[in-house]
Structures are given as C-alpha cells and as structure tokens.
Amino acid sequence: MNDNQHCPACGALNQCSLADPRSATQACWCYGVTIDPAVLQALPAELRDKACLCPRCAAVQDQLETASGPDCFARY
C-alpha cells in the first residue's frame, strides 16, 4: 500500500485519525501508546515515514485495551 490510511507493514487500515479528513482534528490512537523503536526500525527504509502502522503491527494492542477496556479495540 502506498497511501497514508493503510499500514505499510500489512496493508490493513491503520486507523490514523490524522490521515482521515473526517477525524483529522482528533488525537490519533498512537498518541497514547509507546511504540518500540525496534518495531519501526524493522520496516524497510523505503516504507518508513510514509504512513502509520496499524495497532497490531505496532504491537500496542495491550496498551490500547488497558486504556480503553478489552472490547474497545477488538476490531484491530
């Protein structure tokens, strides 16, 4: 995928609120989690800084569930 609404690692929707004009004024889910820099470094250089990872590829589902309850992010 080569657009800013899809995860560069798996191609799934990344749920980035900033990439969606309908929610661009809202804080993105990634603002409340810590993404391990090693996860980002594992991406090929040509895919970095192009689009956000999805929560699954960013390996942060447990952080999202803790913050919002277990069912809130079940779709990821």
- Please tell me the total count of domains within the chain: 1
Q: What pLDDT does residue 1 have?
A: 43
Q: What pLDDT does residue 17 have?
A: 92
pLDDT at 8 over 60: yes
Q: What pLDDT does residue 62 have?
A: 72
Task: Tell me if 1 sits within 8 A of 7, measured CB to CB.
Answer: yes
Task: Tell me if 24 sits within 8 A of 32, measured CB to CB.
Answer: no
> pLDDT per residue over 16-66, tens digit each?
999 889 999 999 988 888 888 888 888 889 988 889 999 888 887 676 666
| Token pair belonging to 5 | 């609404």
Residue 32's domain comprises 1-76
Q: What pLDDT does residue 11 have?
A: 92
- DSSP, collapsed to helix, strand or coil, labels residue 6 as strand
CA dist., res. 55 & res. 15, Å (int): 8
